[in-house]
Amino acid sequence: MPATRVTIALNARQSQKAPLLISASATADPAAANSIRGLVFKTAQSKLRLKKPARVYVSPAGQELLTEEDWKKNIKLDVTLLISAGEDYVGVKKEDNTHEDANVTCPVEILASKAPIESLSVTQLTTTAHTLPGIVHAVGQPDLHPGTKFPIGAVFASRNWIHPPLIGSDIGCGMAWYKTILPRSQVDGNKGKKVAEKLRGLEGAWRTRAYREAWLENDDGSCSVGEQWDSALGTIGAGNHFAEIQVVEESCPTKDGRQGLYEDGVILLVHSGSRGYGGSILKKYTTDSHTSFEESSHEAIEYMKEHDKACQWAQANRDLIALRFLACLEPGNEDWQLGSSDTDGTGEVDAAMIERAKGTLQQRKVVDIWHNNVERVRWPPSPLSSMKEEVASSSPTAEGTDSFTPNDMHQQEYLYVHRKGAAPTYDPHTQQPLDLLPLPGSRGTPTLILKPTFSASMSWGLKNALSLAHGAGRAMSQAKALSSLSQKYKGQNILEPRPADAGGTWVICDEKDLVFEEAPDAYKDVEAVGQDLVDAGVASIVGRCRARVSYKVRNEAR
DNA sequence: ATGTAC
């Protein structure tokens, strides 16, 4: 006997609905243990978030299902059941996809001219901006590309509404740069291969549960989220995540001299997120039909708490990945000893060792940003305090635009800036502009060092929604890259530099699909993406780095 | 992206 597919919806709000398969083994008798009624109520609780389902009506007839006969007669393919918390049948409302808080005139900006933009991603950007409740500004960065439903490389600022799907499952994903003390002579050319060989023992869990929990302690307490997810702490993950040893090939110190990257320096770029935890949060709080929360709702508050925890966890994860890499790269440094597996043998957590490693790591850290998160910000952006000087000296013509002056501060409100693959232009903690941030290419292609711009002409960050591109952006879907690039490079090893290319990258990737899915050809030209940011007046390119060793995944058994 | 969901 096949299962029967029906739709259940809230009687009070019929736009909120969910599909339900009723197996043939469920019985019509509402009093039975395996009743259809029980199944419907359970689904209404989990998918429609109706705490106490009480009555069921058939739509559009409005008949209430009470007796076994009622259930038997009415459970048929594609019927819609309206679930009530006790209230009477409210009748059929006209199907209306537009939310009353949707903003059909929401401005949508795409900061690209040189970088190719697929039309599907523009449709996704515009549709999202115009249909989700509360969106007041949407920006497509030059790395914009289509996602399953929502675009990647996009920023959405909303009033009152929080939309977890716009951040996605990898909450807290981002990038951090750390300095190493290696001279470039140790990573250039064929030396890169030797360095790649040293990168071992990085797959799988790091040390013990007790060590992981100790690593997750921070100033605000603990960001441990339970062993189920904590066990992945210190691992890079799959997809576009990586850790990369790079050489700074050009670098222009910024005028305040705080530039943290020096020419010929060897640095480590870590791109990873919250592993399984972020996805579990998205799943826990959203259903197919319930994806947006008003800021004061209980769900929004609980979601934000877990979101913030995932961001902390992801940051601790990047730090631990860096520690594990540094233990391989600088074996003489005792501060990194903690990064390797526990060879002391005692198994006891050495708190002093953790403190020392964290301290030294923070000294090495140049920048760490989240590019998948939601942040509450004052809007419209005002000249940040460090920018006062430039405000004072800005020309009177610029004042005539929609730019903001400190006098207008009281007109600001708080909005939620949702970033899905978009880097912030400032440090959310200090509220100061970032000196630099990475715009990674892919493997052999350069990573640009960006410096965000703040000026009256881009309305102090309104134009780019206080954000920049987070990478080159996909030019091909994973499926397309896999099929076309595995053909193109058939019989070739694209994980080593070509013999003529001394400046190339040694790639560690023991997953054969990933080799092609993440090949440079699958991405846009990072120089075009960077130039679009410059042309839009939102960033300058202050330097370039090149990867020497790019670590994706290693099969240790090999 | 992911201790995926079907």
| Chunked mean pLDDT (size 10), chain A, 558 residues | 84 85 89 92 90 90 87 86 88 67 96 97 97 97 96 98 97 98 95 96 94 94 96 96 95 68 95 98 94 96 97 98 98 94 75 95 96 96 67 49 57 95 95 94 90 95 98 95 94 88 89 94 96 98 96 89
Name which CATH class applies to A166-553.
Answer: alpha beta
Question: Would the annotation count A145 as a binding residue?
Answer: no
Q: What is the pLDDT of residues A362-378, one digit of tens each?
A: 999 999 999 999 999 99
3-state secondary structure (DSSP) of residue A42 = helix
Name which CATH class applies to A4-84.
Answer: alpha beta
Omega prior to A146 cis, within 30 of 0: no
Known catalytic residue at A163? no
**CA–C1' span, A333 to B5, in Å?**
45
CB-proximal positions of chain B, under 7 Å = 1-3, 5
User: Of A303, A294, A291, A374, which is closest to residue A49 (Cα–Cα)?
Assistant: A291
A229: Cβ contacts below 8 Å, ≥ 6 apart: A274, A275, A276, A277, A280, A313
Q: Where are the domains of chain A?
A: 4-84, 166-553
Specify the nucleotide whose C1' lies closest to residue A372 (CA): B1
Whether A273 sits with its Cβ under 7 A from any strand B atom: the answer reads: yes
In this structure, are residues A163 and A286 in contact, taking their beta carbons and an 8 Å threshold? no
Specify the nucleotide whose C1' lies closest to residue A229 (CA): B3
Whether A209 sits with its Cβ under 7 A from any strand B atom: the answer reads: no
A140: Cβ contacts below 8 Å, ≥ 6 apart: A108, A109, A110, A111, A112, A117, A121, A122, A125, A151, A153, A154
Would you state the pLDDT for residue A19?
87
- Please give residues of chain A from 404 to 463 whose alpha-adjacent beta carbon (CB) lies under 7 Å from any atom of strand B: none
Question: Would the annotation count A372 as a binding residue?
Answer: yes
Q: Is the four-CA dihedral A412, A414, A418, A423 of positive or negative sign?
A: positive
Given A137, A163, A418, A470, the catalytic residue: A470
**Closest residue, by C-alpha, to the C1' of B1:** A170
Q: How far apart are CA A58 and CA A162, in angstroms?
A: 32
Would you state the pLDDT for residue A321?
98
Longest Cα separation, chain A: 82
Amino acid at A230: D
Would you state the pLDDT for residue A502?
75
Would you state the pLDDT for residue A49?
87
Whether A43 sits with its Cβ under 7 A from any strand B atom: the answer reads: no
In this structure, are residues A242 and A259 in contact, taking their beta carbons and an 8 Å threshold? no
User: Of A162, A170, A552, A530, which is closest to residue A371 (Cα–Cα)?
Assistant: A170
Would you state the pLDDT for residue A474?
96
Whether A170 sits with its Cβ under 7 A from any strand B atom: the answer reads: yes
Same CATH fold assignment for domains A4-84 and A166-553: no
End-to-end CA distance of chain A: 48
Q: How far apart are CA A208 and CA A213, in angstroms?
A: 9
Would you state the pLDDT for residue A398?
44
A217-238 residues labelled b (16+ CB within 10 A) or e (exposed): beeeeebbbeeebbbbbbbbbe
Would you state the pLDDT for residue A411?
83
Q: Is the four-CA dihedral A413, A414, A415, A418 of positive or negative sign?
A: positive
* Pairing label, strands A80-84, A4-10: parallel
Give the tokens for residue A178. Answer: 């750390």
Whether A283 sits with its Cβ under 7 A from any strand B atom: the answer reads: yes
3-state secondary structure (DSSP) of residue A494 = coil
Question: Would the annotation count A271 as a binding residue?
Answer: yes
Question: Would the annotation count A470 as a binding residue?
Answer: yes
